[in-house]
Structure 1
């Protein structure tokens, strides 16, 4: 009797899970049929769904029929492969393509790599519930990361500078940061990049996994001590999430990256991102503000910087970065209101 009850319960759970999954796909398919969406939006929805749901080959084929482009079908299939439930049936997908080269490319990027076993243990950020920073509260979707990673694979040289630019302009999971770091050959370069990347990681407490990328014992110890220090500061220091100081090397990199932007709009966007993610003293805010020509842009940055500045009592000293009295008066009024 007990065995029968257990079997019935197991079957009920399995049926319930299957029914829920079918409901999820039905809802997703209904979304694809919406005529109000552009093809780009539909593609984005398909990539998002296949990144976050287990899917059968029959469902994948069904979803791909909403797209006429072989290139878009390919992107969806590559994206969906890790979460395909019945991989033994994946060969059926190749018939979707009019151009045989896409089928070959799909095979080499999916089933041909099945036997490859990674020696690296990557953390999963999907269920992470630990501390995060205000600037990184949702990691980049996997399909977007794959697009960036694919571009990196096609480059001959992927130096620290190039990878830092990618990391500093995005919110990434520790796994994604590890995949980028693997592109560097030397232990020292990997160590430097990982220290820089910590603040841009979503699942901060998973960052200990990165030690696997360092073969030098001394650098591995230094990395773990750095992570220990940062995690302790994160847990013990009030306001850490809102105001994180940079090392001098990190600050120099931030300032140089802002200077290197040719267009004011992009320079302003980058400056705002760094200000929101970090903690700048008066002396460090001033050089950033002086990289801009117009008082309007300067004032907007000053107002943003104020909430992340640890020495607010001296913020009035930054008034001299403004040229026109109108903006100086507005700056004074802002300080009085805060």
Structure 2
């Protein structure tokens, strides 16, 4: 990873430090990148067959690109993240989004089935990706990131913490408004939150993106989608350095999904009042800046955002990070 900036924050006195000495004035990561992208559905008809269906967004231009897996949230579909996947892929990343089995009935195994399925998809990548990527496009699996949204964030962190084995190692971990249960006393199994600072035994850089409205109720009949005590704040607090925490203050838990995600699903969570496209570009842009820094040794975009969060399309507050 390239040289990282000095720690800084907004609205959080316990993490305030002098800002980095220099940074670029602007960043282009909040607009789509220059590479054309192809979206590929891979299911039981493909050989080698993935353990579960996956949706891939990959650059069309020949080259070798890092890989990132994005795990969807509870009762969601991987295709609801297509715009997010395409945005990140357009900067030179192969994005892989597995589709887990969806059921509103809680599994007696907690999150174990999805953790195991993610591990199996990870093991499939080395053989499976070459058979489905565009001609001339190769995946650099020595640079492999793991990301997850909502419950998928819990799945991603659980796998990174060793709750299943994989043949490949991960270079970076991302939680997109991760959620670990319905409350501090009712964590989803495995209960990975310890409520001890820097307790996660994860030897890689970590990015946590939160939402300002995720812990608010949409109405009196449904609980918050990202409750206090099991949401992005606690995930970040339990990360070891280097770790980053940026919160989209005016947006809700599902506002990063595509506009055609069913209203029956998105109405369950508190929504922001502004354009969802702004939220998607914000989340995707932060992901791109982070991935470029930790896997491509290009930290100018990440430094710029950390120094001047106003570069983002929406308000980021707080913005904090720990490097040591």
For Structure 1 versus Structure 2, the TM-score category normalised by the shorter chain is under 0.3
Identify the structure with bigger relative contact order (alpha carbons < 8 Å, sequence gap 6+).
2
TM-score by length of 1: 0.25
Query: Structure 1 or 2: larger strand share?
Result: 2
Which of these two proteins has the greater Rg computed from alpha carbons?
Answer: 1
Structure with greater helix share of residues: 1
User: Structure 2 length normalisation: TM-score?
Assistant: 0.26
